[in-house]
Amino acid sequence: MSKKLYEIIAKIMRVPLSEINDDSGPKTIPNWTSFNGYVLLHELVNHYKIQFTIDEAMDVETISDIKRHLKNHGVNFDD
């Protein structure tokens, strides 16, 4: 479900949950640094029990991209 994904992102990027949507990403969230991106990747791997390829990790411009890659790994979003 997207809400949990948004909560994880909001926590790591230190922004209010209300500021997170599918169009959010490194260009719209100032705290989305390369380090925080790595922390986010690590948290998603642990939470969803999946592994991202290097190409997937590098192919993230928005949260929609993250959701697409998670769906490709079998994660279901019901929204």
List the pLDDT tens digit at each of the 79 positions of the chain: 589 999 999 999 999 999 999 999 999 999 999 999 999 999 999 999 999 999 999 999 999 999 999 999 999 877 5
Confidence (pLDDT) at 79: 56
As a residue count, the chain comes to: 79
CA dihedral 3, 38, 53, 2 (to 10 degrees): 0
Which amino acid would we find at residue 18?
S
Confidence (pLDDT) at 39: 97
Write down the domain spans for the chain: 2-72
Confidence (pLDDT) at 75: 93
Residue 7 near residue 21, CB atoms below 8 Å: no
- Class level of CATH domain 2-72: mainly alpha
Contacts of 54 (CB under 8 A, 6+ apart): none
pTM exceeding 0.85: yes
